[in-house]
Amino acid sequence: MSILKSSVPEPRTAKKAAKAALRLVDADETAPTTTAPLRIDAGIAAWVFDVAAITQPDEIVWCDGSTAEWDQLTKLMISQGTLIRLNPEWRPNSFLARSDPADVARVEDRTFICSAEEIDAGATNNWREPGSMKAELLPLFEGSMRGRTMYVVPFSMGPVGGALSQVGVQLTDSPYVVVSMALMTRIGTPVLNLITDDTEWVPALHSVGFPLIDDAGNRIDDVSWPHNPKKYIAHFPETREIWSFGSGYGGNALLGKKCFALRIASVMARDEGWMAEHMLLIKVTSPEQRVYHLAAAFPSACGKTNLAMLKPTIPGWKVETIGDDIAWMRPGPDGKLRAINPERGFFGVAPGTGIVTNQTAVDTMWGNTIFTNVALRDDGDVWWEGLTPNPPAHLLDWQGNDWTPDSKTPAAHPNARFTVTADQCPSIADEWDDPAGVVIDAIIFGGRRPSTVPLVAQAKSWSHGVFVGATMASETTAAATGAVGQLRHDPFAMLPFVGYNMADYFQHWLDMGETLGSDAPPIFQVNWFRKDENGKFMWPGFAENSRVVEWIIRRLEGEVAARQTPIGGLPLMHEFNIERLDVTEDDLQTLVGLDKQAWLAEADETEQYFGTLGDDRMPEALYAELTKLRAGLAKLPG
Ligand code: GTP
Ligand code: SPV
Ligand code: MN
């Protein structure tokens, strides 16, 4: 038995499988019952039944994406202890899920790119040969859904039927994943109806790896958050498949997000001449009512949701939200770069998101929201660090234990998240779900850099901008398992998300610049996270980042000048708006300054890093940028 998409049975067999899907199976007691809709693509039906034969669920449910289905699944999970219904007076139709403490974030060390050749996964990815990865995983999937229901979730990344959109089908034994996918993507019958014989669709197989019947046939009690200590997030870029085993959390399990929309889509994008990026998208309207669209790549938990929902502190400026995590960008018929947000919702970091820092996000999650690993208030609402300035006197923490402000551990897990649809966001832009996307006027790169990198700089050219993206580094966060606060290279904020060789990905960015030519948007670099000698953030950040957005837009308009330096164009002090801001001229000087010694060290670091990416594929153009940087720095005094 094979469940390779590439070995979907001949049409005749597939049609038979489709027919089988249409009836409730009663002749064979061991076969699962099914709620198949009226029209299913034969290829999907065959794949579903192949997978079911291996994973052996009790039942197959074809998800239609209806409210009734949502209600049924949320009720089911309440009865199973997976969800707690929040007080509907405060948070209607909203739920709290508490994950297992061993399943709280993306597992980068268990994420695999299974290209046929190791070199195509490159130096930054864990590689496995596709056949041997499947051979290793098949025994784990065998019987992994015993005693459970297998849900069939057809989903669209991007508006259903949109020219830039893509479809997939996720099979999962987690109802939590189904309702999360329903918020994060467009799911259900309309998507299934799109898929015909010649539709490309991505099969995305997921199991939490916690069967309820053991090999001897004995029943096992379920737990509120089933998962498996063995975790695999496996991608097969050449055959466009995803196999995820053992985790129910976030990007490990909601396979439309990082697995499809970034890792698989980055490969599609390379092959087809577009870009799949870890970027927020915003629409900015200037006081003169001119409209611009910006795309910004920051690593995980580095402020994308925040900038996506920015409420400018400077008069006359307006920012509206288009996306907060992923952008798919492609040159349009007019030659300009256009972007869509392929997602339908936000899976946002809760801690640090609050009424002071991001009121818009707080307003977005008024209801119809799933919270994971936040704390529960005594009145049945939720709380987390930073939601309000003062913590409630008593809470149940993310693991369900009593918590008071004196407790030594945080009430919410640092990677606690809220899941909610984008259309509930008060700042959502009208064109956020336009299938044609929006024209991108500028691209921004940023990360958590306590030193060296200025508050804002404009790249000198597209290829210098690609160099800036390729040399990004950032302190690690709780979004992935492992140490937090360690500076690491995270090119284009895509280190964990590029589905192929990083050096080839750099080349693809350079190639896109060639394609776009004079229409290529200007590139900027930002850093909200510069620290002083006492470890304090030097820049107020959050809503005040609107001042940086203003400078960027004024650069696009040619309204402000830039001091040309080897690291790019820096703001002139008198042209950077710090009115009514608690930042001293001295601090601003540091924030928009250039420290020659620090940059010389950065250049050495860059050379070393490039060396780890494989000399034979690293683009010459990036080494040329490094040479230019060093030559420029050498000419500076000091
Ligand atoms: P992913 O969803 O993991 O991709 O992350 P994201 O980039 O969307 O991160 P998000 O906006 O949710 O921010 C993560 C954390 O960064 C939160 O704790 C924020 O409070 C904090 N943060 C966001 N913007 C700023 C800023 O301008 N300054 C400072 N100091 N912190 C910020
Ligand atoms: C990230 O880690 O960048 C996220 C959260 O956006 S997750 O979906 O878990 O990848
Ligand atoms: Mn992200």
* pLDDT per position as a tens digit, 214-257: 989 999 999 999 999 999 999 999 999 999 999 999 999 999 99
Mean pLDDT of the region 41-69: 96
Lookup result for tokens 């999360």: 180
Say yes or no: CB of residue 310 within 6 Å of ligand 1. Answer: no
Is residue 610 predicted with pLDDT exceeding 80? yes
Among 106, 108, 306, the mutation site with the greatest number of ligand 1 atoms within 8 A of its Cβ is 306
**Nearest-CA residue for atom 8 of ligand 2:** 251
**Nearest-CA residue for atom 3 of ligand 2:** 300
Give the tens place of pLDDT for each residue, 411-437: 999 999 999 999 999 999 999 999 999
- The predicted structure's pLDDT at residue 40: 86
- The predicted structure's pLDDT at residue 27: 39
- Cα 207 from Cα 175, distance rounded (Å): 11
Say yes or no: CB of residue 257 within 6 Å of ligand 2. Answer: yes
Q: 158 near 67, Cβ under 8 Å?
A: no
State in Å: Cα 121 to ligand 3 middle.
Answer: 21
Say yes or no: CB of residue 300 within 6 Å of ligand 2. Answer: yes
- The predicted structure's pLDDT at residue 54: 98
- Closest atom of ligand 1 to 540 CA is 28
State in Å: Cα 299 to ligand 3 middle.
Answer: 7
- Closest atom of ligand 1 to 298 CA is 7
- The predicted structure's pLDDT at residue 197: 84
- The predicted structure's pLDDT at residue 34: 73
Is residue 19 predicted with pLDDT exceeding 70? no
Q: State the chain's mean pLDDT as an integer.
A: 94
- The predicted structure's pLDDT at residue 33: 72
- The predicted structure's pLDDT at residue 621: 98
- The predicted structure's pLDDT at residue 550: 98
Is residue 78 predicted with pLDDT exceeding 70? yes
Mean pLDDT of the region 110-129: 98
Mean pLDDT of the region 21-35: 52
- Positions marked active-site: 302
Residue 417's H or E segment, with its range, is: strand 417-421
Mean pLDDT of the region 264-276: 98
Is residue 3 predicted with pLDDT exceeding 60? no
Q: What is the pTM of this model?
A: 0.95
- The predicted structure's pLDDT at residue 196: 87
Counting residues of the chain whose pLDDT is more than 90, the rounded percentage is 91
**Nearest-CA residue for atom 12 of ligand 1:** 349
Which residues share a beta bridge with 295? 281, 443
Ligand of minimum distance to the alpha carbon of 527: 1
Say yes or no: CB of residue 505 within 6 Å of ligand 1. Answer: no
Q: Which pairs count as long-range contacts for 628-634, CB under 8 Å and 24+ apart, including other chains?
A: 628/464, 628/566, 629/467, 629/566, 629/567, 629/599, 629/603, 630/600, 630/603, 631/566, 632/565, 632/566, 633/566, 633/596, 633/599, 633/600, 633/603
The three-point CA angle 16-18-19 to 5° equals 65
The C-alpha R_g of the chain, in whole angstroms, comes to: 25
- The predicted structure's pLDDT at residue 31: 67
State in Å: Cα 346 to ligand 2 middle.
Answer: 10
- The predicted structure's pLDDT at residue 14: 41
- Cα 508 from Cα 511, distance rounded (Å): 5
- Cα 589 from Cα 544, distance rounded (Å): 17
pLDDT range class, residue 615, cuts 50, 70, 90: confident
Say yes or no: CB of residue 251 within 6 Å of ligand 2. Answer: yes
Mean pLDDT of the region 586-605: 96
Ligand of minimum distance to the alpha carbon of 496: 2
State in Å: Cα 421 to ligand 2 middle.
Answer: 16
Is residue 6 predicted with pLDDT exceeding 80? no
CB 221: neighbour CB atoms within 10 A? 5
* End-to-end CA gap in the chain: 69
Lookup result for tokens 């990007």: 251
